[in-house]
Structure formats: structure tokens, C-alpha cells
Structure 1
Amino acid sequence: MPSFIKSLAVAAAVSSLGLGATQAQDALPDLAGRTIVAVTENAYVPLNFADPATGEGIGLEYDLFNEIAKRLNAKVDWQLSSWDVMIQAVRDGQFEVGMDGITINDERRSQVDFSDSYLTSQQLMLVRADETRFTDAATFAADASFLVGAQAGTTNFYVAVYNVLDGDEANPRIKLFDTFGTSVAALQAGDVDTVLMDQTSADGYIGANPGAFKVIGEPLGTEDFGFIFTPGSDLVAPVNAALAQIKADGTMEKLQQKWFYEYNAAQ
């Protein structure tokens, strides 16, 4: 498995394609103090979650979108929503922008507008640290007693269905949970045997729970994360312009360092 540092380097290169340095450094739009209503779930370490000490929402997505708003002369009104209604709520205009490690794909593009990618990650199998009964997707799939925890409608769910199991979305080996965090808690408790997640989240849980988890097998695919907007939103272009600048001037690299390395090391 390639190192996470290499993965981040590739992600940065991929997400910067087509953005020249001159374009990225152009003056940004001024939103004149506008308040942007943003929504997340607070259940996706280290992208968005509640600080155990204060209950305050923290994570890479918070820092990144706050920085975008600052550069656009805007403010952020942070709201919370469960994953299962988030895309619909943004599509209907209840919130202006949503984020929750949301994979950019054609099905979702038919419902909402997406920003450019801000992170590229891979799907991996997270298991308990003492797991020895299976070593990859094939050996997991071969034993019908092994269970995978997932959140319905997520990339993790669909990869479990189509890349690990038999393509049956009603397969009883998939145990559904209301939030991503509860699926990981079920894994730790022994109620399921693996949870699929991207590299960023896997590193977050491993760092926050030393000795509890590990990753096995080869990556099961890659995904690009983007912010979602109400269709036709006038925020897409300004956000993309600020995001390009943030990538070009090294701020994105600093945020990745903070949440993928320093945060893990502090746990």
C-alpha cells in the first residue's frame, strides 16, 4: 500500500490540474460580508467532528471552508444534519453548501452542484488491531460469517456491496448504522468485522485510538471529495477560485499536515 504522504502528494497534484499559478493568485470575488449557511454531520474524523473537550465542531473541512469564506469576505453559519438527508436538504436550498467527505460522482451531480475536488483519497478496510481471520477483501468475502458495517447511501456502502461482496444491496452481511461513527464503534465492540473508509478517516481513527485498529489489504478504489451546493448556486465559482488559491499558496498542505499528522500524533 502506498504511503499516505505519497497519497497526499498525488492528491495535491491531481486536484491542481488545470490551475495555473497566475489564475490561482488572481484577486478573489468579494462577497461583501455575506453569511453562507453551511452544513455538516460532525461524525467523520478528521474531516468534521465534535471536539471531545468542548463539543465544538472541528476538523479539516471546518478549517478549509472557514478559510475559503475569510478570503471571500464572507461569514459561515454552521449547521448540523444527518447524512441521510443532507444532499436533499442542500438540493432544496435549506442549506447553501454541504460537506461530509462527499464523493463527487455522476449520480450526485444530477442532484446538486459540486465544487472542484479538495481531497483525493482511497477506500480501505479498517479492522480491529488483532484481526487475523482475513487479510483482504477476497478472504473477507469468502467467509459468510464476517460482517461489514456501513452507512446507507455512502461510498463506503457501495464499495462494500460491489467491490467486496456480491452486488446485492440487501446482503445481510452488511449491517447499517445511522452515522459513520457508530459503525466504527460497532467494529471496536466486535459487532462487525470491518468498516470501509477513505485513507484520511482511517488515519484519523487509528491515531485517535492507539492499538485499536489497523488497515488491511490493497486500496479498493479512489474518490474525490467536493463541497455540494444548491443547483445553480452563485457560490460555486467564488469557492472554486478561493480553493485554487488555497492549494497554490500552500495553505491546503498546512491543513493536511494539521489534521492528518499533528492531530493524530497528539491523540
Structure 2
Amino acid sequence: MRRTSLFTVTGLVAAGLALSACGSNSLSGGGSPAGTAAAPTNQTSDAALMGKLPAKIKSAGKIIVGVDTSYPPNEFLGTDGKTAEGMDIDLFQAVARKFGVQAEFQTASFDSIILGVSSGKYDVGVSSFTINPDRKKQVDMVSYYSAGTLWGVPKGNPKKVDPDNACGLNVGVQKGTTQVDDLTARSKKCTAAGKPAINQIVEDLQVKVNADLASGKVDAMAADSPVTAYAVKQTNGAVETVGKPYDTAPYGYVVPKSESDFAAAMVDALKALDTSGDYTKILTKWNVQDGAIHDFAVNP
């Protein structure tokens, strides 16, 4: 999604190729349908898995999925401004097809999705959720990928940013992410040592974090490793990474606590996709195969 500025929000939404696509104009409380992405291969349904679908999903013939479509290459909106695309989209659509149903992706603010799943607004949440103890208290999580945190800076790193010594810097981060907790902990170490705190510039959308970096509002940004790496690729070197990925942990599909059998069945669907080679094909399509896992599980 690039126009005059590689990080311009409207350009990103319109073109569908750069750092992000910011989603619907309104992200208040769940948004509107973002369309469904075609599966990259011809997955076949599994009768045993179909029998484990919750009655609500079986009746509807589709899985309603809450997703923050501002996090490429994992999840973002295509050139039509409404169709969800990305690694997460392709992979979960393949999972849904193993159950013999479609996935309908609905754009939502990232920090509203888990509550939306718990309340029944969404059947599943798929939005690069790192599995952690706090989230597992609220919902079941099905592991399917692994990523860490990776920092991005402008080309040449003019502020000489070091993630391990970022005291006093302005660092961009998306609201509700694990990176907020990480920056908070790092900032406390700064102040405990008598140094200036890290100034977090928190945005609702990753696309805005990207824009803040390009405009000079922030000195660096912290995001999931595939997202930061994608930013580097799409800006042709205008942004670069600094340091190495850290705090690597699995991503998980968000499933209501009341649907533990469905969560377990998702593990079986992922195993089938891994065996068929479709899992690897999807990750390779988005150049994120380094985060592949093969020990899919519920609440690992």
C-alpha cells in the first residue's frame, strides 16, 4: 500500500502493498465484515472435524472471526479496502475449510477482540495474539506460529537506538500488545537507574505506529518480528531493524473457554494442514516460514 509516502495511512489502505492497511473507518467495538480470503490451495473438509463444530457455527455455516486488519503481513485489508488478507487470514481460512465452513473476518480494534470472543460476538479471534498467562485465564488459545519482538528504526539509525538502552527515547507501539508491557518494564529499569523513562507513543493501529516512525514522531517502534521485517521489505530500506528478535513465543487462536472441544479440534486441523504441506505453503507465500511450529496445542 504505497503512494507518495510509504507510511501514509490513506495510501496504505488504497494500495494494499506496504506496511499496513488500517481497516475500516470505524473500529469501535467490532467493526464490519471485511470479506473472506480465498484459500491458497484446495483443502478438503474432514468429516470427523465437522462433527466437532459448535452448534452455532454448524447452523450458520461460517466462523465469525474478530481480527485487527492493520498488521501486515499477518492481517490487513486488500486493495478493495474490505477483503482481509495476510498469513493469518490464509491459514485460518484453511483451518475453517477442514471443518467444511467458511471464515468471515470482521475488523475490530485489537484490544476488543478477546472480550468479543468471550461475550459471543465472535466465534474466534485471529490477530497475532501472543499466548501468555493473562490471556489464557480469559480464553483458550490454540498455538499455530511463533514470533518475537523486533525493533524498527529509520535508515541509518540516526538516534543510535539500542533496545537494551532506550531510556529517554520516543518509542511507538500498538495499544494492547505485549510490546506495551515490554516497554513498560524497560522504562522502569531506566528510572530505577536514575535515567529518563522511555516515552511510549501508543496508537490504536499498527499503521499509525508506522506513520509515527516515518514522520519522526518516534525514534523507533517495537512490533512482532514478522511485522517489523515486512516494514523493512516494503519500504526498500527506508526503515531497518535494530537488534535481534527476543521474547519469542507462540501465537494463538482465541477460543471461548466454553468451547474446549472446538479448540482441540483446531489442533487436529492444523496438524492435517502441516501433514499435507499446506501449512508451509501458506507461511512461505508470506515469507514468514521462519516462525513455523509443529507442536500445535491448546494453552501451551
Q: Do the structures match in fold with TM over 0.5?
A: yes
TM-score of Structure 1 vs Structure 2, range by shorter chain: 0.7 to 0.9
More displaced 10-residue stretch of structure 1: 211-220 or 178-187: 211-220
Determine which of 275, 280, 285 is the counterpart of 1:248.
275
2:255 and 2:154 map into 1 onto residues whose CA distance is: 36
Determine which of 153, 164, 187 is the counterpart of 1:165.
187
**Structure 1-normalised TM-score?**
0.79
Q: Are 2:212 and 1:189 equivalent residues in the alignment? A: no
2:170 and 2:105 map into 1 onto residues whose CA distance is: 35
Determine which of 201, 218, 222 is the counterpart of 2:227.
201
Q: Are 2:179 and 1:156 equivalent residues in the alignment? A: yes
1:66 and 1:261 map into 2 onto residues whose CA distance is: 17
Higher relative contact order (Cα pairs below 8 Å, separated by 6+ residues) = 1
1:139 and 1:77 map into 2 onto residues whose CA distance is: 43
Residue 132 of structure 1: CA displacement?
Answer: 3.2
Match of 1:22 in 2: none
- 1:127–1:215 Cα contact (<8 Å) kept: yes
Match of 2:170 in 1: 147
Residue 27 of structure 1: CA displacement?
Answer: 6.8
Residue 185 of structure 1: CA displacement?
Answer: 1.1
Match of 1:126 in 2: 152
Residue 198 of structure 1: CA displacement?
Answer: 1.8
Residue 113 of structure 1: CA displacement?
Answer: 1.1
SS at match of 2:131: coil
Residue 246 of structure 1: CA displacement?
Answer: 1.3
Amino acid at match of 2:251: F
Going from structure 1 to structure 2, the CA distance change for 1:138 and 1:75 (only over 3 Å counts) comes to closer
- 2:64–2:106 Cα contact (<8 Å) kept: yes
Amino acid at match of 2:79: P
Match of 1:46 in 2: 73
Q: Are 2:125 and 1:98 equivalent residues in the alignment? A: yes
Q: Which runs of 5+ in 1 are unaligned?
A: 1-25, 263-267
Amino acid at match of 2:250: D
Determine which of 220, 228, 236 is the counterpart of 1:210.
236
Amino acid at match of 2:113: M
More displaced 10-residue stretch of structure 1: 182-191 or 244-253: 244-253
1:100 and 1:135 map into 2 onto residues whose CA distance is: 28
1:246 and 1:252 map into 2 onto residues whose CA distance is: 5
- Equivalent pairs, count: 230
More displaced 10-residue stretch of structure 1: 53-62 or 91-100: 53-62
Match of 1:109 in 2: 136
SS at match of 1:215: strand
2:68 and 2:287 map into 1 onto residues whose CA distance is: 19
Q: Which runs of 5+ in 2 are unaligned?
A: 1-45, 192-196, 290-300
Match of 1:37 in 2: 64
Match of 1:77 in 2: 104
**Structure 2-normalised TM-score?**
0.71
